[in-house]
Amino acid sequence: MFIRSLTLRDFRSWEHAELELSPGRTVFLGSNGNGKTNLLEAVGYLATLGSHRVSSDAPLLRMGAGRARIGATVVNTGRELRIDLELNQGAANRGQINRSPVRRPRELLGILQTVLFAPEDLALVRGDPGERRRFMDELCTALLPRLAAVRADYDRVLRQRSALLKSAGRQARSRADLSTLDVWDGHLAEHASVLLAQRLRLVHELHPHLASSYASIAPESRPASIAYRSASLPPEFLDPARTPSPDDVEALAEIMLRELVAARPKELERGVCLVGPHRDDLELMLGAAPAKGFASHGESWSFALALRLAAFELMRATGAEPVLLLDDVFAELDRRRRAALAAVAAGAEQVLITAAVPEDVPAELAAAPLRVATVGEGDGRISQIAPLEAG
């Protein structure tokens, strides 16, 4: 898979940009703040419908613009598709496939697949559980695009059920309130079971890739492992060595319903939903200790890098060759970690790299054919780009 062309309009610092790309390695060089990361952010947004830097769309629109547009022509096993996304201020975003509108932007998911490694990935190890839940869900959706609809339905039901819990907690708990809550319990369990089954399958499949990736990056360190953590699930479901079963969705739905019933008194008292995948975590372990709080700075970087490399290898194993996006990360890594990442990048079909100076690009990649573009700041903080040249 590779991107043949990329078009931006009023995205971040880019008033307008049109790039013709090709398989292989492309480096965008420029000082910090000149807009090179915005190019990779736009590509990542097309693939995931989310930014790795911000949680809302508002900062993605160029200052003063009411909408932004991102478009790309994607080539996958000889098939070429054009995808376009319009981000609107105060209105729903809109998508197109081959210039034809789609009902929902999430219909674009799966056409472009990417793995992005950025300095923000340190939060996967040191940040809150929400960072790791997002990592799991975005990777699950990349592997199974229809999961995007399940995630949207789960979030909608969670909001409705949480509002009902707050209302019922403030008022006398009438029979009608509790009957309505029973209905929402069923909906929550239904969507949660599908999401949980895919997360558990992901952890099972990702675990060996993570262990080998970490060992190649930090062979002197303790072995790395991952496990799914949920207060709602029995221990047998949480073992990453357990092979997922086709019956898991039904079993998980029954477990969720039981847990919701048991937690209802506390939920009514507190007015929040205490059961479900929105409260779970991906546990990262180094030996017998959790990486968060116990890993050194170097070990944390190694774990974050290993997670992304494991995701890349897992996606490859499914038959898709994702575009690898490396956002200003080589300057953050020591020699061994740079070499490990460069080895993966050298074998990828397409790699888009940002760097402040040419010296930040590892020798293993600099020795191979490169296409290089210089990104600079134009008038009024509008980014500009020089033509791509063979390095």
Instruction: Round the CA-based radius of gyration of the chain to a whole number and report it.
Output: 22
Q: Beta-strand (E) ranges in the chain?
A: 2-11, 14-20, 24-29, 67-76, 79-88, 94-97, 100-101, 114-117, 224-229, 281-286, 289-290, 323-327, 350-355, 370-377, 383-385, 389-390
Distance CA 387, CA 208 (A): 41
Structure tokens that stand for 162 in this block: 């949480």
User: What residues are designated binding site?
Assistant: 30-37
Backbone angles phi, psi at 318, to 5 degrees: -85, -5
Q: Taking the CA atoms of 326, 332, 334 and 335 in sequence, report the sign of the dihedral they define.
A: positive
User: What residues are designated binding site for ATP?
Assistant: 30-37
Distance CA 121, CA 119 (A): 5
Q: Taking the CA atoms of 369, 336, 126 and 222 in sequence, report the sign of the dihedral they define.
A: positive
Long-range contacts of 330-337 (CB under 8 A, 24+ apart): 330/355, 330/360, 330/361, 330/362, 331/355, 331/356, 331/360, 332/119, 332/301, 333/301, 333/305, 334/298, 336/217, 336/218, 337/217, 337/301, 337/302, 337/305
Distance CA 37, CA 50 (A): 15
What length does the chain have? 391
Label residues 168-186 b or e (16+ Cβ within 10 Å = b).
Answer: beeeeeeeebeebbeebbe
Q: Which 8-state DSSP code applies to residue 178?
A: H
With beta carbons less than 8 A apart as the criterion, state whether 187 and 210 touch.
no
How remote is the C-alpha of 168 from its chain's centroid?
35
With beta carbons less than 8 A apart as the criterion, state whether 211 and 202 touch.
no
| Phi/psi-derived region of residue 295, left when phi > 0, alpha when psi is between -120 and 50, beta in every other case | beta
Backbone angles phi, psi at 22, to 5 degrees: -155, 165
